[in-house]
């Protein structure tokens, strides 16, 4: 039987437990409210009051690949190694392989001195141990309270791991996104490079930065009253990597062309040389090689003039390589044919007083339009050009790219000159028929021959295939639409005459590739002396052609700036032949299986 005396304490105990339970439930409810129901609001309040720690998350810069997907530029993580000089000067406790402090027989922690620590660091980083010691000693001597000093910048991941395994508590590691170019100087003039701060400085690295640039993220933590990070309070905004930039360049072909042009430029003692390979059906540039060029891994090792692309930043008078444009204009606007003839002395004074000379003395002869191209006669092409009014000729030159942008949107593009026809003086009216008095770029010369080889339709020149965004979305560049420049029949007639240039001209034996029909033209352009005249006996030489001529696949252009060993365009024959042979072999283009139909040179 329970008495009143025993019931009263029990009742009080039950009440007390009930009160404790209610309070506990209230705490739990409040905790759930803070940690779950309204967690984001409380985190935001804490962040707004500065009770936070924020770390930046770096995205990786996008890769650059060639037309086959081979990496040309990639990003990798490296580390800056920093040290706390104040703690380093005091040394550290010796630890075993499990991280436990090693003690001596007296139970005291064994220490490692700074000179010993410096030796361990230098053994990993490859630095001189005295240099590592000096980093801390000098910093400590200057300011005993200094807590930060860089030991070495941009160590590899392997070095980082070895340093971390040393378990040095006052070493810290700052991750840094670093750029790597696996093929070195291959395509360096096109790819460009980034600075030590990761900012793009040249080439497509800079021009296509909108594709390659990553978006940084961040991670925030709440801090307690003592400044300690509170677990479980992280708020992360993920970083977004850059996209993948795909170029039209074939890196294997590019490598070969760079080796070739370096050898040939040295052989002919030119200031510089270049090779451009363009696909006829698409206008895509498959190789753009030049010498000297830059290794993006170490741009500082190259002269500043070699860190960009001369081929894309140099304009010149095309000379004889634009004589086929005069031929096409005369065919369409004056009704001439490849067999139409004119009387051609080696020097001619026209009715307006203009004087035109051929490059070599010769007896007066009747040359066909085809003969004018085969012999590269300025006098003949001046007469054929004069059959068309200046304004119409101006319009055709413009359609073939003279004085216009080449469509690549390259930085530092050169000035291109094509003055209005109304301003042409007496001499200019004839000089424009054989490639003088206006300027073009190497890309525009190649594009003109792509137009002839493509049935009169010009495809826009391009260096970029696409940009693949991190989410997989593929963006292709906005290019000009294909444009019909001349009639298909005109293109066929001009192309056949260009075949005859190779078959019947003075360069025939030097450039012939057994089994293949080819068409093309040399160019020897005078170079301005900067004072209204031309340099004496110094020229910008070129040779451009397409193959196989009966079904053209590729255009190859070679150029030399002021070759000294052979000063005329004959210097280009060797490099052109080797370049075209490699292109046809590389792309497994079948031989022609037919001979070039020969056209009359004289009437």
Take residue 516 and report the two structure tokens written for it.
Answer: 């293949």
CA distances, 426 to each of 77, 116, 190, 396 (Å) = 64, 85, 41, 19
Mean pLDDT, range 77-81, rounded to an integer? 84
Q: What angle do CA 75, 81, 87 make, to 5 degrees?
A: 160
pLDDT of residue 435: 95
Is the distance from CB of 25 to CB of 162 less than 8 angstroms? Answer: no
Closest CA to 161 of 78, 98, 93: 78
List of long-range contacts for 45-54, beta carbons under 8 Å, 24+ apart:
46/222, 46/233, 47/220, 47/222, 47/235, 51/222, 51/223, 52/220, 52/221, 52/222, 52/223, 53/220, 53/221, 53/223, 53/229, 54/218, 54/219, 54/220, 54/221
Q: Using DSSP bridges, classify how beta strands 244-247 and 64-65 pair: parallel, antiparallel or unpaired.
A: parallel
Supply the pLDDT for residue 171: 85
Given a cut of 70, is residue 528 above it in pLDDT?
yes
Sheet strand arrangement including 272-279: 285-291, 272-279, 554-561, 534-547, 519-528
Q: 78 or 340, which is more confident?
A: 340
**Distance of alpha carbon 417 from alpha carbon 444, whole angstroms:** 13
CA distance 404 to 445: 12
Residue 192 pLDDT > 60: yes
Q: Give the separation between CA 358 and CA 375, rounded to whole angstroms.
A: 10
Give the mean model confidence (pLDDT) for residues 293-297.
93
CB atoms within 10 A of CB 147: 13
Is 235 a residue whose pLDDT tops 80?
no
Distance CA 140, CA 147 (A): 9
Rounded Cα gap, residues 171 and 164, in angstroms = 8
Q: For residue 61, what is the DSSP state?
A: P
Q: Is the pLDDT of residue 251 over 90?
A: yes
pLDDT at 16: 72
Residues 372 and 157: their CA atoms lie apart, in Å, by: 65
pLDDT in tens, 436-479: 999 999 999 999 999 999 999 999 999 999 999 999 999 999 99
Compute the radius of gyration of the chain from its Cα atoms: 37
Q: Could you tell me the pLDDT band of residue 24, with boundaries at 50, 70 and 90?
A: confident
Residues 208, 467 contacting (CB under 8 angstroms): yes
Question: Looking at the chain, how many residues does it have?
Answer: 603
Query: Higher pLDDT residue, 99 or 200?
Result: 200
Residue 28 to residue 21: CA distance in whole angstroms:
10
Q: Would you state the pLDDT for residue 7?
A: 60
Q: How confident is the model at residue 317 (pLDDT cuts 50, 70, 90)?
A: very high
pLDDT score for 60: 83
Of these ranges, 43-57, 89-103, 131-145, 384-398, the one predicted with the greatest mean pLDDT is: 384-398
pLDDT at 273 over 90: yes
Round the average pLDDT of the chain to a whole number and report it. Answer: 88
Question: How sure is the predictor about 57, in pLDDT bands with cuts at 50, 70 and 90?
Answer: low
259-283: average pLDDT: 97
Average pLDDT over residues 174-183: 86
Report yes or no: 219 and 237 within 8 Å, Cβ to Cβ.
Answer: yes
pLDDT band with cut points at 50, 70 and 90 for residue 218: confident
Residues forming a β-bridge with 194: 200
Supply the pLDDT for residue 354: 95
| pLDDT recorded at residue 440 | 95
User: For the residues 97-113, what does the mean pLDDT come to?
Assistant: 62
Residue 91 DSSP SS3 = coil
- Residue 475 host element (H or E): strand 474-475
Report, as an integer, the average pLDDT of 569-589. Answer: 96
Dist CA 394 CA 398 (whole Å): 6
CA distance 53 to 35: 19
State the pLDDT confidence band at 315, using cuts at 50, 70 and 90: very high
Q: Within its chain, how far is the Cα of 154 from the centroid? A: 24
Q: What is the pLDDT of residue 125?
A: 92
Q: Is the pLDDT of residue 224 over 80?
A: no
Query: What confidence category does residue 259 fall into, taking pLDDT thresholds of 50, 70 and 90?
Result: very high
Would you state the torsion angle of the CA atoms of residues 589, 594, 595, 600, taken in this order, to the nearest 10 degrees?
A: -110
The residue among 363 and 103 whose pLDDT is bigger is 363
N-term to C-term CA, the chain: 145
Whole-number Cα distances in Å, 297 to 160, 204, 283, 400, 595: 21, 15, 30, 38, 48
The first and second tokens of residue 208, run together, are 């296509």
Q: Residue 441's pLDDT is what? A: 95
Q: Tell me, what's the pLDDT at 463?
A: 97
State the Cα angle at 388 between 438 and 429, rounded to 5°: 35
- pLDDT category, 222, cuts 50, 70, 90? low
Query: How large is the average pLDDT for residues 32-45?
Result: 56
Task: Give the β-pairing of 171-180 and 149-155.
Answer: unpaired
- The tokens of 242 are what? 């850059």
Q: Return phi, psi of residue 57, to 5°.
A: -105, 120
**For the segment 405-447, what is each residue's pLDDT rounded down to a tens digit?**
888 989 888 888 999 999 999 999 999 999 999 999 999 999 9
Which tens digits make up the pLDDT trace of 331-372? 999 999 999 999 999 999 999 999 999 989 999 999 999 999
DSSP 490-512: HHHHHHHHHHHHHHHSTTHHHH-
Work out the average pLDDT over 512-534. 89
| List of residues 6+ apart from 583 with CB closer than 8 A | 253, 277, 286, 547, 554, 556, 589
Q: Cβ distance 249 to 287 under 8 Å? A: yes
pLDDT at 61 over 70: yes
């Amino acid at each position: 039987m329970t008495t009143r005396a025993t019931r009263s304490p029990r009742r009080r105990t039950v009440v007390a437990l009930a009160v404790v339970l209610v309070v506990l439930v209230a705490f739990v409810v409040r905790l759930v409210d803070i940690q779950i129901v309204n967690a984001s609001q409380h985190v935001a309040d804490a962040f707004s009051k500065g009770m936070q720690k924020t770390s930046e998350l770096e995205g990786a810069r996008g890769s650059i690949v060639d037309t086959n997907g081979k990496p040309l530029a990639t990003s990798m993580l490296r580390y800056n190694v920093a040290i706390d000089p104040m703690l380093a000067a005091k040394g550290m406790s010796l630890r075993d392989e499990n991280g436990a402090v090693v003690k001596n027989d007296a139970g005291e922690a064994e220490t490692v001195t700074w000179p010993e620590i410096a030796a361990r660091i230098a053994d990993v980083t490859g630095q001189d141990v005295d240099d590592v010691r000096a980093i801390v000693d000098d910093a400590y001597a200057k300011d005993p309270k200094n807590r930060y000093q860089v030991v070495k910048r941009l160590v590899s991941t392997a070095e980082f791991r070895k340093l971390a395994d040393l378990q040095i508590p006052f070493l810290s590691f700052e991750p840094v996104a670093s750029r790597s170019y696996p093929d070195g100087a291959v395509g360096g003039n096109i790819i460009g490079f980034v600075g030590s701060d990761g900012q793009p400085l040249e080439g497509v690295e800079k021009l296509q930065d909108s594709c390659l640039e990553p978006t940084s993220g961040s991670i925030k933590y709440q801090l307690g009253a003592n400044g300690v990070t509170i677990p479980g309070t992280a708020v992360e905004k993920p970083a977004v990597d850059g996209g993948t930039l795909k170029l039209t360049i074939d890196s294997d072909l590019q490598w070969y062309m760079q080796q070739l042009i370096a050898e040939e430029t040295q052989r002919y003692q030119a200031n510089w040389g270049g090779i451009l390979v363009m696909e006829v059906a698409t206008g895509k540039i498959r190789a753009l090689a030049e010498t000297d060029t830059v290794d993006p891994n170490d741009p500082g090792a190259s002269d500043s003039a070699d860190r960009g692309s001369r081929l894309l930043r140099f304009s010149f008078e095309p000379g004889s390589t634009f004589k086929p444009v005069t031929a096409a204009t005369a065919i369409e606007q004056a009704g001439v044919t490849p067999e139409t003839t004119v009387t051609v002395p080696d020097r001619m004074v026209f009715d307006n007083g203009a004087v035109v000379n051929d490059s070599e003395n010769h007896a007066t002869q009747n040359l066909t339009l085809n003969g004018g191209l085969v012999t590269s006669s300025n006098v003949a092409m001046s007469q054929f050009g004069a059959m068309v009014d200046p304004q119409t000729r101006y319009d055709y030159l413009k359609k073939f790219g003279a004085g216009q942008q080449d469509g690549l949107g390259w930085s530092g593009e050169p000035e291109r000159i094509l003055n209005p026809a109304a301003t042409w003086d007496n001499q200019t009216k004839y000089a424009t028929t054989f490639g003088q008095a206006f300027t073009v770029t190497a890309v525009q010369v190649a594009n003109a021959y792509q137009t002839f080889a493509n049935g009169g339709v010009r495809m826009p020149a391009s260096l970029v295939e696409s940009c693949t965004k991190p989410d997989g979305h593929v963006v292709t560049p906005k290019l000009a639409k294909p444009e019909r420049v001349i009639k298909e029949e005109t293109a066929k007639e001009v192309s056949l005459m260009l075949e005859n240039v190779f078959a019947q001209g003075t360069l025939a034996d030097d450039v012939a590739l057994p089994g293949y029909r080819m068409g093309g033209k040399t160019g020897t352009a005078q170079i301005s002396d900067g004072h209204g005249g031309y340099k004496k006996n110094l020229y910008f030489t070129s040779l451009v052609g397409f193959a196989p001529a009966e079904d053209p696949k590729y255009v190859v252009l070679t150029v030399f700036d002021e070759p000294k060993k052979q000063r005329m365009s004959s210097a280009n024959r060797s490099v052109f032949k080797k370049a075209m042979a490699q292109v046809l072999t590389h792309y497994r283009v079948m031989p022609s299986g037919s001979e070039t139909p020969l056209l009359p040179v004289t009437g």
